[in-house]
Amino acid sequence: MTSSCSVEERCDRYSEEAAAWGISTSQRLELEALSRSSLKSPATFDKDEWVDLGFRSEVAEILIENGLGKKAGRYLMCSRKAFVLRCTGEESHEFFSPSYCDLRFCRICSKRQFARLYAKHSPVLHFIRRNPRAGFRLRQITLTSKNKGVLAHTDIKTFNAQVKEALSVLMDGVDGWGAMTVLEIGFNNWNLHAHILAWCPYIEQKRLAQVWKDVSGHEVVWISEERASGKRALLYMLKYVSKPPSDKPEMIAQLEIAFHKTRRVHCYGLFVKFSGEDPDAEHSKWTQCPKCGADLKRVKGEHYVYKLKREGLRFIGDFPRVRNDKKWIN
């Protein structure tokens, strides 16, 4: 097996070796991560690093078993390796930028998603503040579902469709409305519900409950006028994506499987006009040197973060951001 083999091929090989050696795939992945001479020495690991590696190994094993080998590899190695950015100026300044997994329920990447989603959706709230409408307010809505004890991909798709239909019914004939929905799962349980920030006229609680029951069969709903400013309302909404909904590796893995190629955040009406296209794994790129302003070029290959730090390179995110904004994920 050469070093150029695919992630899927390596994962298949690790699974076969684990079976032959009488250990679990997660133990084989952990062994691989610790045995390479190019990796940080296990002797230098602190308690949190050991815990995180074991947690990620268990999640990766379940992802592999469910045909998501690429995701497993990215999750296992999240932020441990990085690529080098070198500027074209006379000083040839160099920085490193870690390679992230960008999985929705990664404890590292969930914070990145929070920041990127906040930057993406702030413009519509600026527009609303500068263009008030009679009878329109920012309103918080919660739509719930029954806890089935587990979530499948089809459950997520169905729930998203029901939320969309309910909003369409409630806003039928209303011009200029908009909404953003964020799916949340209760901590360490499978209670799926949607938090909605809506720019719309008054909706009676009784009507909201009836529409949601007609559309989904579920009954528990809640609505209130948003008292906070637009930015604070957005921060409140996005807090649900800022941290994983479980401290159990098996649940994190099952959620990644259930949400595979399915978004947690959706926009409707006015909010769509400001969100643009945002395919997963697309994010802003650094294009200019934060020290001298010269163009940045990515150096071929990846290196382990601890080695780059040892060589004196700094994380480019530590500098003021001079970037060419691209698309954002959700």
Q: Are 162 and 216 in contact (CB under 8 A)?
A: yes
Please state, in angstroms and rounded to a whole number, the distance separating the CA atoms of residues 258 and 260. 6
pLDDT beyond 90 at 208: yes
The average pLDDT across 51-68 equals 89
pLDDT (tens digit per residue) in 141-168: 999 999 888 899 999 999 999 999 999 9
Question: If we measure between CA atoms, which residue out of 51, 52, 69 comes closest to residue 61?
Answer: 69
Q: DSSP labels for 43-100?
A: GG--HHHHHHHHHHHHHHHHHHHTT-HHHHHHHHTTTTEEEEEEESSTT--EEEEE--
Q: Which residue has the higher pLDDT, 131 or 119?
A: 131
Extract the tokens encoding 43. 């002797």
Task: Note the pLDDT of residue 38.
Answer: 39
pLDDT beyond 60 at 7: no
Sequence-separated (6 or more) residues with CB below 8 Å from residue 108: 78, 79, 100, 101
Continuous H helices in the chain:
7-21, 25-35, 47-65, 69-76, 109-130, 153-170, 205-216, 230-238, 249-258, 270-275, 305-310
pLDDT (tens digit per residue) in 216-258: 999 888 888 776 667 788 888 888 888 789 999 999 999 999 9
Using CA atoms, how far residue 276 sits from 77, 91, 120, 163, in Å, is 30, 37, 9, 21
Q: DSSP labels for 178-206?
A: EEEEEEEE-TTS--EEEEEEEEES---HH
Q: Are 158 and 166 in contact (CB under 8 A)?
A: no
pLDDT beyond 90 at 283: no
In the chain the domains, ranked by start, together with CATH numbers, are 7-77 (no CATH), 83-102+281-324 (no CATH), 109-275 (3.30.70.1910)
Q: What percent of the chain has pLDDT over 90?
A: 55
Rounded to 10°, the helix 25-35/7-21 angle is 110
Residue in the structure block whose two tokens are 């029901």: 162
pLDDT beyond 90 at 41: no
pLDDT (tens digit per residue) in 78-106: 988 999 999 999 999 999 999 999 999 99
pLDDT beyond 90 at 182: yes
Least confident of 19-28, 210-219, 267-276: 19-28
The average pLDDT across 113-142 equals 90
